[in-house]
Structure 1
Amino acid sequence: MADITPQDVPRYWNSVVDTMAEGLFIVDTKGKVVFVNPAAERLTGYRREEVLGRSCTVFESETCLACQDQEGQMTCGLFERGRVADRRCSITRKDGSQIHILKNARVLHDELGQVIGGVETLSDITPVVERDRQISGLKRHLTRSYGYEGLIGQSPAMMQVYQLLEAAAASTAPVVILGASGTGKELAAAAIHRRSPRAAGPFIKVNCAALNPSLLESELFGHEKGSFTGAEKSRTGRFEAADGGSLFLDEIGDLPAEVQVKLLRVLQEGEVERVGSNRPIKVDVRIITATNRDLGRLMEEGGFRQDLFYRINVIPITLPPLAARKEDIPLLTRGFVERTALGSERGVTGISPAALERLMAHSWPGNVRELINAIEYAFVTCPGGEILPQHLPPSIVGETPVCGPVSGEPGGAAGDEALRREISEALEATAGHKAQAAARLGISRVTLWKRMKKLGMPLGD
C-alpha cells in the first residue's frame, strides 16, 4: 500500500474538506459564497445550493466584517484586516436558532499574490459557552450574598466567621483554623489567602497526616540529591514553593514531633534548610494551619510543642459544625444541587420539601462534607425531577429506607412513622390522588394501597 505524498494532497481536497468536523466556506472578494463543506451545512442548516452565490451575511453573525465600499457595494472587511483568529461569536441558523462558534478566517492569494477570496472555518462551541454561562451564574448566585469566598451560610455563627476571616486576611500573623472534619477548613484557608495582599502569590497545601515523618520533612523543606535512598535529584520543598504567598498546613495536630522542631525554627527565623544541606534559604511565607484535634489537650499529653502552639495560634478561627447552624442547610442544599446538576445528565431540578425536612432533622456528624455526599448520592438514585426522601442515603432516612418499589416493607415504629409521614405528604401534595401520589413516591398504586392498609391509614375511595 503506497503512502500519500505532498504532491497527492490536491487530489484528495474534496475528501479532506468533506470529512472535516469544522464548517468551512470560501468567499470571493465581494463576500459571495463560492464553496461550503458538509459540516458548514450541518452547522448553519443551509444546503449548499441555498447559499452559493449569496453574501456570507446570510449567516447573520454579530462579528461579520461586512461593510460598504465607496460605491455602496457590500464588501468584506476581512480583505482589509487579512485574518480573523479564534473569535467567539454566534450565527443564526436557517431555522432561526443561534449557535455559538469559534471563527477563524484568512485571505486567499493566487500564485501572483493577488487577493482572490477568503476562507473561513467555524467550530461549534455552543456546549462550552452554555456550560461557562451556567458556571458563571452559579458562582454569582453562591457568592452574591449567601457566603464568603466559597463558604456558604447566612447564620449568625457563619457571619461571625466571615468577619474573622476578613480580619485575618488583612493581617500577616499566623492563623489556625479549628473545627471538625468536613466543616470547610480548607475553604476558609483559601479565602484568607485570596483576600490577603498575598493573593497574587502561590497558595500551597500540605496534609500533615498524609505522609510519614521522613517524607513529610522532605515535602516541607525539600532535599538535596543523594541525601537519602531514592533522592536521585534535588527537590524544592513546599516552603520554597510558597515563597511570597501562603502555606496551608492541614491536620497540624498530626505533625510528628521531629518535624515540629524544624517547623518552629522556620517560623522563628524565616528560613529553611533542605534535607541533606546546611545552607539556609530565606523564605517569605504566611502560615495558615488547621486541625480537627484539641491542641490544648495534645499539649497536656505531650503530643504538641507548647512553643509551636503559641507561634501558630495567633489568630484562632473556629468553624461551627453543621448541626450548630442548621438554618444554613436549605441554602447549602440548593447550592449543592445546582452545582451537582452542572455535571449531571439526570435532569434533577431541585429537592422536595419532604426531603429537605429529612435533611433538617439529621444530626450531620460528617458536617458539610456529609451533606455534599448526600446530594451526590441523591443524584444517583433520583431518576429526575425533584429529589424525594427515598432518594436520600439510608443514614438520613433511617436504617431501612424506602427507595422505589421494593419487595419488603420497612419495619419498626420509627420506620412506620417515617413511612406514614411520607405517604401523607405525597397525598397532600397531589390532593389525595393515589395514582399521582404513588408516582411521586416511586411505587405502584397497589403498593401504596398495601402500605396504607398496613399502617392503618384511611383508604378512601
Structure 2
Amino acid sequence: MHQDSVKQYLEEIIETMNEGLFIVGPDGRISMVNSSLERLTGFSRRELLGKPCTVLNCDACRISRREGRDHWCRLFDERKQSRKNCRIVRKDGSCVDVVKNATLLLDNGEVIAAVETLTDLSELVEKDRKIEELSRLLDTGFHGMIGHSPAMQRLYALLEKAARSDAPVIIFGESGTGKELAAHAIHTLGWRAERPFIQFNCAALNESLLESELFGHVKGAFTGAIRHREGRFEAADGGDIFLDEIGDVPPATQVKLLRVLESKRIERVGDNRPIEVDVRVITATNRNLERLVAEGAFRKDLFYRINVIPIHVPPLRERAQDIPLLAARFLEDIRTRTGRGAQGLTPEALRLLTAHPWPGNVRELKSALEYACVLQDAGPVGPEHLPPAIQNAGGAPGACPPPAGAPHGAPDPANAPGAPEAPHPALPANPRQALIDALLATGGNKTRAAALLGVSRGTVQNRMRRFGLDLKRVVSAPGS
C-alpha cells in the first residue's frame, strides 16, 4: 500500500493501540483522543475534546507547567519526553500510574501540536504493592515505623492511599506514637517526594514569631527584622509542609492559615503582596480538635479544611504484640550507637513490657530500654534492669527467680546434643511455646527472635530442629 494511502487510515490505526493517545494544541487544549485513552481515564471523547489537558491532573505535568521557561509547559521547550513515570486522576477521582511519552509535531519548524501516549502501569504497581506488603511482614518496618499488628497494617495501607492524593491530611495520635514518621511516609510515597519536606512545631513559638516563621517577613516589619526572610510555606513550595501540634495555633494565625489553604497564597508579615505557593499541608495533633471547636478555641471552618483525610496512629497499648519487635530494634540500635548494650530480654522482662500501659507510647519504651542498657551492658535485660515504674506496675519489684528445678545458670535442656548454649538467667517454663512466640513476634526473623530470647541465632535453629518446628508453618499458623 502506498504511504499516502496509509495516512488516510491513520485514525483507524491509532484506534488499534493499547496505549492511550491524545494530541494537544499549542494552546494546551486536547484536539484528538483514541478509545484506549477513554478507557484509561474514564472520560468520554466529548468530555475531553476542546478541554485543557490539565483535566487529566497529571502530577508530572504540574511540575512541567511550573518550570516551563518560554512556554506554558516545559514540553514545548524540551520538545520531547521519554518514559516519564507519572500519575493521572481518572474521572471517578481515582489515581492511575502511567508511563508517558510525548513529542512535538512540527510543520516547517513551527510547532503545531504535541502528541502524547500513556501506558497503564496499574497491574505492575499492584504487584509492587503486594511485594512491599510481603516485605513489610518479613522486615516488620514501614518507613521507620515498626510493627506488623493488624492496627499497624491498617495504618500502612491508609498512609499509602493518602500519599496518592494531594488533599490535606491530619494525623491524630497520642504523644510519642510516631506521627512525624507517618507524615514523612506520606511525603516519601507521594509525587512530591523529590520536592521539599518542611516540618514545623506550631506550639514552639508565640503568636508574632509563629506568623513570621510560617509566612516570612519583610525588612522593617517589626523590631529586629533587619532583612527579608522566607517563611516555611515558601520553603516548602512544590512539596509538603508538616504542621505539628496544629491544635495549639492561636486564633489569629488560624485565620491566616485558612486563607492560605483556600487561596494557595501567602503574605509575608509587613507586606501586602501575595505570593503563590504550591504546597500540600499535613497536620498533626494529640488534642481533641472537635472538643476545641465546640469550646470555641479552634475555628470550625479551619477544622473542616484540614480534616479531609484523617489518620489515627494507634497508641502502643493497642498494639502490644509489636512490643517485642520494637524492643529488639531499639536494643540493636543502642548497641550499634554505643558499642555496648544488653543482649535481648528475659521472658519475665518481656512480660512486664507487654503488660505496661505505656502512657508515653513508643517514646517511653525507647527511654525505658535506654535506662535498662545503662544498668545492663552485657547479657539479657531482666526485670531488675527496667525502670521502677514498670517493675512495680507488673508486681515485680526485683529480680525474677528461675523456675523450680532450673537453678541459675543451668543449661537449656531444649538444646540438641553437642550444641552448647550460654547460660540464661531465667529460662521459660515452656521453651517450645516461648520459641514460637518469639518467631511470631518477629515475623519469622531468626536473628531478632534470638535477640528477644537472649540467645544466639544458632540456638534458635537448634531448638527449631529439636521441637520439629517448620518456620513457614509457625508464621502462617499462629496456633501451631
Give the TM-score taking structure 1 as reference length.
Answer: 0.58
Distance 1:380 1:369, change over 3 A: same
SS at match of 1:278: coil
Question: Distance between the aligned counterparts of 2:193 and 2:404, measured in 1?
Answer: 50
Letter in 2 for 1:169: A
Match for residue 400 of structure 2?
422
Question: Distance between the aligned counterparts of 2:373 and 2:183, measured in 1?
Answer: 29
Aligned counterpart for 2:236 among listed residues 236, 242, 266 = 242
1:13-412 to 2 correspondence within 5 Å? 145-398=139-392
Question: Distance between the aligned counterparts of 1:398 and 1:321, measured in 2?
Answer: 22
Match for residue 54 of structure 1?
none
Distance 1:231 1:426, change over 3 A: farther
Give 1:422 deviation, angstroms.
0.6
Give 1:344 deviation, angstroms.
1.3
Letter in 1 for 2:305: R
Question: Distance between the aligned counterparts of 2:381 and 2:181, measured in 1?
Answer: 27
Distance 1:383 1:427, change over 3 A: farther
SS at match of 2:406: helix
**Is the 8 Å Cα contact of residues 204 and 247 (structure 1) preserved in structure 2?**
yes
**How big is each residue's C-alpha offset from its partner over 1:91-133, in whole Å with a ceiling of 9 and x where there is no partner?**
xxxxxxxxxxxxxxxxxxxxxxxxxxxxxxxxxxxxxxxxxxx
Distance 1:218 1:354, change over 3 A: same
**Is the 8 Å Cα contact of residues 142 and 150 (structure 1) preserved in structure 2?**
no
**Is the 8 Å Cα contact of residues 351 and 386 (structure 1) preserved in structure 2?**
yes
**Is the 8 Å Cα contact of residues 354 and 425 (structure 1) preserved in structure 2?**
no
Letter in 1 for 2:179: K
Letter in 1 for 2:401: I
Letter in 2 for 1:323: R
Match for residue 121 of structure 1?
none
Give 1:349 deviation, angstroms.
2.2
Distance 1:335 1:187, change over 3 A: same
**Is the 8 Å Cα contact of residues 219 and 227 (structure 2) preserved in structure 1?**
yes
SS at match of 2:296: coil
Distance 1:306 1:432, change over 3 A: same
**Is the 8 Å Cα contact of residues 143 and 150 (structure 1) preserved in structure 2?**
no
**How big is each residue's C-alpha offset from its partner over 1:122-176, in whole Å with a ceiling of 9 and x where there is no partner?**
xxxxxxxxxxxxxxxxxxx989531311111111111111111000000000000
Question: Distance between the aligned counterparts of 1:244 and 1:327, measured in 2?
Answer: 39
Question: Distance between the aligned counterparts of 1:330 and 1:341, measured in 2?
Answer: 17
Distance 1:426 1:153, change over 3 A: farther
**Is the 8 Å Cα contact of residues 408 and 424 (structure 2) preserved in structure 1?**
no
**How big is each residue's C-alpha offset from its partner over 1:222-281, in whole Å with a ceiling of 9 and x where there is no partner?**
000110011111110000000011000000001110000000000000010000000111
Letter in 2 for 1:239: F
Question: Distance between the aligned counterparts of 2:405 and 2:339, measured in 1?
Answer: 29
**Is the 8 Å Cα contact of residues 215 and 230 (structure 2) preserved in structure 1?**
yes
Give 1:383 deviation, angstroms.
2.8
SS at match of 1:346: coil
Give 1:340 deviation, angstroms.
1.5
**Is the 8 Å Cα contact of residues 169 and 308 (structure 2) preserved in structure 1?**
yes
Question: Distance between the aligned counterparts of 1:439 and 1:295, measured in 2?
Answer: 50
Structure 1, unpaired ranges of 5+: 1-140, 402-413, 442-461
**Is the 8 Å Cα contact of residues 341 and 373 (structure 2) preserved in structure 1?**
no
1:445-456 to 2 correspondence within 5 Å? none
Give 1:432 deviation, angstroms.
6.4
Give 1:427 deviation, angstroms.
7.2
Letter in 2 for 1:250: D
SS at match of 2:282: strand
Distance 1:289 1:354, change over 3 A: same
Distance 1:212 1:143, change over 3 A: farther
Letter in 2 for 1:181: S
Measured on the aligned residues, the alpha-carbon RMSD in Å equals 2.5
SS at match of 1:290: strand
**Is the 8 Å Cα contact of residues 217 and 268 (structure 2) preserved in structure 1?**
yes
**Is the 8 Å Cα contact of residues 142 and 335 (structure 1) preserved in structure 2?**
no
**How big is each residue's C-alpha offset from its partner over 1:42-94, in whole Å with a ceiling of 9 and x where there is no partner?**
xxxxxxxxxxxxxxxxxxxxxxxxxxxxxxxxxxxxxxxxxxxxxxxxxxxxx
**Is the 8 Å Cα contact of residues 165 and 188 (structure 1) preserved in structure 2?**
yes
Identical positions, percent: 58
SS at match of 2:344: strand
Give 1:346 deviation, angstroms.
2.2
Question: Distance between the aligned counterparts of 2:343 and 2:202, measured in 1?
Answer: 40
Question: Distance between the aligned counterparts of 1:143 and 1:429, measured in 2?
Answer: 38
Letter in 2 for 1:177: I
**Is the 8 Å Cα contact of residues 245 and 286 (structure 1) preserved in structure 2?**
yes
Moved over 4 A (4+): 141-144, 438-441
How many residues align structurally? 283
SS at match of 2:343: strand
Structure 2, unpaired ranges of 5+: 1-134, 412-422, 427-480
Match for residue 15 of structure 1?
none
